[in-house]
Structure 1
Amino acid sequence: MDPLEGETSSAPIEYEPVNVKDVLVEMKDTAELLIDLSYSAVLHSSEDIATEVLRLEERMDVLEMRARMGLMMATRSPDDAEQLAPVLGIVGAADDISDAAGDIAKVVLEDIGLPEAMRAALPEAVETLVRGVVDPDSVYVDRTLADIDLESETGVRVIALRRGDDWLLNPGPETAVRANDVALLRGPELAIGDVCETMTGTEYERPSADVPDIPDLERAVDTIVHMKNLSELAVDLAYSAVLFDSEALAEEVRNLEVEVDALESRFEAWTLRAAADASDPVALRGLIHLGSATEVISDAAIDISEGVLRDIDVHPVVQMAVEESDEIIVRVAVDEGSDLDGTDIVAGVPDTESTMSIIAIRRPEDGWLLVGDADVEIQGGDVLISKGTRTAAAAFEELATA
């Protein structure tokens, strides 16, 4: 039985005035959280996290309808229609991501089958995501996140709270934790267990799995994890391309989508080869589902940035969202002999006076490097995808210029 059967998935949605900008921001936050949760559900084999994915997917359906209604009401002229068409594309792409995340979650909930190798990949992750219900007796109850100061003390972040049917996405310092909240935590594997136990009052069980001795299966699992990371990056860049009307970022989204397509082809070949040596080939069905859903997510990123690629002016409703953004993502090409050439990056932070953090590098001979996975050195010719303030971004671009 579907975990959410009998809930409000078919409840009528009537038009009501909405702030389209706020709806778009919530859809973006929801889409990004859905990607994170769905893969975490698979890696942890967690039915609880998978069920939260389906709850969020249902929430996304409501947001999509409200956004479409609001955009239809805002169309008053051919110029409006031209500018709003890409925004409708963004809305549809967010729903595609939501559906793909739901398909990933169902790999767990419907026991489609997944090799232990997927869970064996978990310890290699930089951070772990867990779900827990806040115990009324927890020392965190009725305290703000600023007061608890989890991130500074442990490196663990509260990335979302669900209070009944209401979601608090990206909770801020003044957000208070309440008894019986469903908390989604992300942080280092070594620290998150203690935080989870303090918050929920129950013992945290660290996941474990045997690593199978099937080389093709290991390659397939490594590839799907890399595809997931690249697709997640593509979505992040796609939204940034739209918000900041950046053709350069939109082109990087296209580059990422091409890379994911190439990886999917190799992934399918390795999965089929692994089936010949697997004791239970049916258990590989879940991997095929993951590959298809991941490719849908990267395609959705292209749909998000399509208006920028087609040189259609960004609609004012999106421009308003830009004005509220404190952080931006930029693409910087590093010249040989520049101040950045030869600079070390440790945990995503370059050894410079800049406060920018580097998310990824596209290197001509190596393809995409996700710098959170390893410490690297910047080279001339690298294309850096970086996050920070507008002021820091301008200074960072100067450092990249010879």
Structure 2
Amino acid sequence: MDPGEVKYEPVSVKAVLSEMKDTAELLIDLSYSAVLHGSDPLAAEVLTLEEQMDILQLKARMSLLMSARSTEDAEALAPVLGVVGAAEKIADAAGDIAKIVLEDIGLPEAMRAALPEAVEVVVRAELADDTPYDGRTLEEINMETETGVRVIAIRQAHPTGKTGWLTNPGPDATLHAGDVVILRGRSEGLETVYETATGEPYETPDAPDPTIDDLGRAVDSIVLMKNMSELAVDLAYGAVLFDSEGVAEEVHELEAEVDALQSRFEAWVLRAAARVEDPISLRGLVHLATATEEISDAALEISEGVLRGLDTHPVVAAAVEESDEIIVRLAVGDGSTLADATLAERMVKTETGMRVIAVRRPDSAADGNGGEWVVSPGPTTELHAGDVIIAKGTRAGAERLSELAGDPREFE
């Protein structure tokens, strides 16, 4: 659809902001996967989603402009416009990453061979007319339990010819022939799911041997940049949701780290260019580093209102709470399952599906924003009573995690 065709209509700003958040997060994932796996189909889906984001941001801006009737309204809504603009910048950066693949700007063909084994594959699959998945819910298919493959998004095909994206679909989501599903998992599981979905065998493209000695280090840097930019965005939304200056400051630190990583990565590309026959083949890596830095800048913009002492507008917090993947803050209680144990020992990710993105150690600060922050904790991170954890995942997972933490809540 041409964004010029969009006209004002009354919409829920909360719903639009929530959809923009989910779309931005999916865009980051798909764009980097397209680059790492050299996938034109994934890159094309990124551009489709980027067009959708253009429409969403126009609707959000129109509704916000209609809402401002006084200087007080303008002051309250300014940070909301910042969040809208930041989500759009993330989409633009993701689109730039996708174009590296679609326009053959320049990437080493052997990147797939240098991928760490821990990196899961993301694949696009269109459901065939005779697929056994047709008309069944994800709960009925039980795909993730049986194969380890997760459906992270569905582009639904409608009889009218219109399509719509469903990000982070829940167990009640129903698949239909003609839908496009985005799958994440290991190759062995994907082979089974892809063939069942499309009726065609899943073929892993052969990757040529690396012609650059330390290409593996470059790929590791790309994966690290992706993880850091995703974390910055997650923490930025967490800072807005919980009006936490401490979390917002961590976003600021992450943005500075991404800047430094970008500089080192670009220096590596320039040195590598002297050792390859065609230096132009590395041009896309420079584009990738630039786009990553833009994503971290956008994350900082999301949290800027908190850093400047502006109150979070309720509509933004509500939008984050109602997005497909929610962000929760829970306190670890005395005697709880998580107290005095590591994340690995309690198998938090396996048991709940939640990803702990930050932990705050307690201190005596009266405002609750003090204490040491542990950003992107790992399996060996130990939790103690009084720690505050910020985690991201589904509502069902959040309820399970709250039980483990001894901080029972209901997430509707």
TM-score by length of structure 2 reads 0.82
SS at match of 1:159: strand
Distance 1:355 1:184 in 2: 18
The code of the aligned residue for 1:173 comes to P
Structure 1 distance, partners of 2:110, 2:226, is: 16
What's the offset of the Cα at 1:254? 1.1
Partner of 2:303: 305
The verdict on how the C-alpha distance between 1:182 and 1:390 changes in structure 2, with shifts beyond 3 A counting, is closer
Question: Among the aligned pairs, what percent are the same residue?
Answer: 60
Aligned length: 380
1:194-231 C-alpha deviation (Å, 9 max, x unpaired): 10110111110124424526345433332122111100
Matched residues in 1 for 2:302 and 2:173: separation? 30
* 1:135-150 mapped onto 2 (5 Å cutoff): 135-150=128-143
Kept after mapping to 2: 8 A contact 1:216/1:270: no
Cα 1:184–1:394 shift into 2, 3 Å = closer
1:242-253 to 2 correspondence within 5 Å? 242-253=240-251
Which range moved further: 204-213 or 148-157? 204-213
CA contact (8 A) 1:237 1:329 kept: no
- The change in CA–CA distance for 1:178 and 1:244 in structure 2 (over 3 A counts) is same
Matches within 5 A, 1:28-107: 28-107=21-100
The answer to whether residue 11 in structure 2 is matched with residue 18 in structure 1 is yes
Partner Cα distance (1:51, 1:217) in 2: 26
Instruction: Kindly state the Cα deviation for residue 97 of structure 1 after the two structures are TM-superposed.
Output: 0.6
Structure 1 residue identity aligned to 2:129: P
Q: For the residues of structure 1 that align with 2:272 and 2:346, how far apart are their CA atoms? A: 34
Tell me the residue number matched to 1:254: 252
Deviation at 1:331, TM superposition (A): 9.2
Structure 1 pair 183/223, CA: closer, same or farther in 2 (3 Å)?
same
1:139-178 counterparts in 2 under 5 A?
139-162=132-155, 163=157, 164-178=162-176
Does residue 225 of structure 2 align to residue 232 of structure 1? Answer: no
Show CA shifts across 1:152-203 (max 9, x none).
2222121111124322222222221111111111123321121011011111
The range that moved more, 119-128 or 98-107, is: 119-128
Instruction: Assess if the C-alpha contact under 8 Å between 1:332 and 1:384 holds in 2.
Output: yes
Contact kept? 1:119, 1:209, Cα under 8 Å? yes
**Is 1:316 the equivalent of 2:314?**
yes
Q: Does 1:378 align with 2:377?
A: no
Give 1:77's aligned amino acid.
Answer: S
Partner of 2:221: 223
Aligned counterparts of 2:112 and 2:290: Cα–Cα separation in 1: 19
CA deviations on 1:374-397 (whole Å, 9 max, x unpaired) are: x435399x9975446489569859
Residues of 1 paired with 2:34 and 2:299: CA distance? 22
> What root-mean-square deviation, in Å, do the aligned CA atoms of Structure 1 and Structure 2 show?
3.2
Q: Give 3-state SS (helix, strand or coil) of 1:279's partner.
A: coil
How far, CA to CA, are the matches of 2:258 and 2:291 in structure 1? 12
**Structure-2 residue corresponding to 1:274:** 272
Which is further off, 198-207 or 324-333? Answer: 324-333
TM-aligned CA deviation for residue 329 of structure 1: 4.1
SS at match of 1:161: strand
Shift of 1:125: 3.8
Decide whether aligned partners of structure 1 residues 362 and 293 sit closer, same or farther in structure 2, where only a CA change above 3 A counts. Answer: farther
User: Aligned to 2:152, what secondary structure does the other structure show?
Assistant: strand
Amino acid at match of 2:195: E
Which piece of structure 1 moves more, 238-247 or 115-124? 115-124
Instruction: Tell me the secondary structure at the aligned position of residue 241 of structure 1.
Output: helix
Give the Cα separation in 1 of the matches to 2:111 and 2:180: 26
User: Does the C-alpha gap of structure 1 residues 151 and 355 become closer, same or farther in structure 2, counting only changes over 3 Å?
Assistant: closer
- Cα deviations across residues 127-168 of structure 1 (Å, max 9, x unaligned)? 221001101101000111111111222221211111243222
Q: CA contact under 8 A between 2:321 and 2:327: conserved in structure 1?
A: no
Structure 2: unaligned runs, 5 residues or longer: 333-337, 362-373, 408-412
Inter-partner Cα distance in structure 1 for 2:177 and 2:391: 38
Deviates more, 1:25-34 or 1:200-209: 200-209
Q: Is the 8 A contact 1:93 1:303 kept in 2?
A: yes
Deviation at 1:280, TM superposition (A): 2.0
Mapped contact 1:196–1:204 kept (Cα < 8 A):
yes
Cα distance change on mapping 1:379 and 1:210 into 2, 3 Å: farther
Matches for 1:195-206 after TM superposition, within 5 Å: 195-206=193-204
Q: Secondary structure at the match of 2:89?
A: helix
- Using the alignment, how far apart are the partners of 2:311 and 2:178 within structure 1? 45
Structure 1 residues 384 and 152: CA distance shift in structure 2, 3 A:
same
Residue 120 of structure 1 is aligned with which of 72, 93, 113?
113
Preserved CA contact (<8 Å) 1:130 1:184: yes
The structural deviation recorded for 1:252 is 1.4
